[in-house]
Amino acid sequence: SQQGEEDPQALSIQEGENATMNCSYKTSINNLQWYRQNSGRGLVHLILIRSNEREKHSGRLRVTLDTSKKSSSLLITASRAADTASYFCATAAGAGSYQLTFGKGTKLSVIP
Amino acid sequence: EAEVAQSPRYKITEKSQAVAFWCDPISGHATLYWYRQILGQGPELLVQFQDESVVDDSQLPKDRFSAERLKGVDSTLKIQPAELGDSAMYLCASSPRGVRANEQFFGPGTRLTVL
């Protein structure tokens, strides 16, 4: 079953603009992760944020986590055509449990 | 950088036939996962191995699916007989021990089409 729900389902922006994707989940978590999937390929881990963290940065990526609202957001700044992909949030339930439950994803298109 | 290997990349089969997928995780990775991803959806866990032992196969349809990781290294996922609804991408992922155990490394997947 899907835990997370990403919003929007699809997003189209111009190169250079910022892209924001949101994820909501239902149960308490140990950590939340974001993955990228290029068309027809496997997933690539982008960033992990733990339940006691509120914000995390990695290069052009910024992730926030609000455990009171059970939501997270992924911001990609200064987007590039190569960022075109589907982005999934995934939650890990408890400490020591490494199983991930994925959302349905946001399909991002960056237009050159 | 080391990668998770999967084969075949594409498989077309007729319903009621048997199919098998192979995964070779990154060397030294103790945990191995098999996921099924239906087009337009996120991956859903089928089975998790820790070394050669099954940790969780509660979502594996055991009447037709089986998975093994006999020596705790590579793994095989089998479907027999295949049904039309099994058409999907089958993804394998592995995780290391230690501080990066939370991170999963995915292979390119096997795209299965059942006719």
The alpha-carbon gap from B39 to the nearest alpha carbon of chain A, in Å, equals: 10
Chain A CB within 8 Å of residue B91 CB: yes
Q: How many residues does chain B have?
A: 115
The alpha-carbon gap from A104 to the nearest alpha carbon of chain B, in Å, equals: 4
Sign of the dihedral defined by the CA atoms of residues B94, B41, A22, A28, in that order: negative
Q: What is the mean pLDDT of chain B?
A: 95
Cβ of B40 within 8 Å of Cβ of A104? The answer is: yes
Residues A100, A29: Cα–Cα separation, whole Å: 10
Could you tell me which chain A residue has the CA closest to the CA of B49?
Answer: A99
The alpha-carbon gap from A4 to the nearest alpha carbon of chain B, in Å, equals: 9
pLDDT in tens, A15-69: 999 999 999 999 899 999 999 999 888 899 999 999 999 999 999 999 999 999 9
Cβ of A99 within 8 Å of Cβ of B91? The answer is: no
Percent of chain A with pLDDT over 90: 82
pLDDT value at residue A96:
67
